[in-house]
Amino acid sequence: MIKDLIKKNRSVRGYDVSREVTNEELREMVDCARLSASSVNMQPLKYVTVNTPEGRDKIVKLISFAAKLSELHLPFSGTEPMAYIVICQDENISKSEVGYLTDAGIAAQSITLVAAERGLGACILGYFSPKEMADALRLTENLRPLLIIALGKSIEDIKIVEIEEGESTDYYRDENGMHYVPKRKLDDVIVEWE
């Protein structure tokens, strides 16, 4: 069952704007992230939840989706995310620049798996200016944005395709808008050890 959920948990770049993401749903996602593993159990992560039109407009202007499909300028107008969770490091707890990036990844995966379980799509975004994001959200100086998770009900068709050794891992779309995510085969990623 977890494998099916992982397959369903794709990076979504187009959302149904008629489906709101509630405060309760956001809190449940953060609660699962909070319960996830943390390096030396320091728990330096804090979470900013945003689902208001004003907040969404601030964030969407500062992020970039689908670097491999930059010519499409995703998300298309009218298909923007309906909520965001900004994962921040509280530097009052730890100032380590790289020490808690693993924690942020674990938390992000927990959040996106909860979203997938609830029938929502998500996209983990790391290409943004932390300073600009902190300023836009009026965060205190101790909170440094690490990752942003876009959330909403997906309107995209996404398909995983296995590739042969040496083939490109670049995701792509066909003429009908189907989004393909190439994945290396299991035998190509396991290194046998004797």
- pLDDT tens-digit readout, 69-102: 888 888 889 999 999 999 999 999 998 878 789 9
CA 142 to CA 172: how far, in whole Å? 39
> What does CATH list as the number for 2-155?
3.40.109.10
Percent of the chain predicted with pLDDT > 70: 100
What is the pLDDT of the chain when averaged over all its residues? 95
The predicted model gives 155-176 an average pLDDT of: 94
CA 194 to CA 36: how far, in whole Å? 33
Q: What is the pLDDT of residues 52-64, one digit of tens each?
A: 999 999 999 999 8
Domains of the chain, by residue range, sit at 2-155, 157-193
Q: What is the pTM of this model?
A: 0.93
Which residue's structure tokens are 């996602």? 29
> What does CATH list as the number for 157-193?
2.20.180.10
Q: Band of the pLDDT at 40, cuts 50, 70, 90?
A: very high
37 CB contacts (<8 Å, ≥6 apart)? Answer: 103, 106
Angle at which helix 23-34 crosses helix 101-117, to 10 degrees, equals: 130
More confident residue, 69 or 137: 137
CA-nearest of 96, 111, 107 to 38 is 107
2-155 and 157-193 share one fold: no
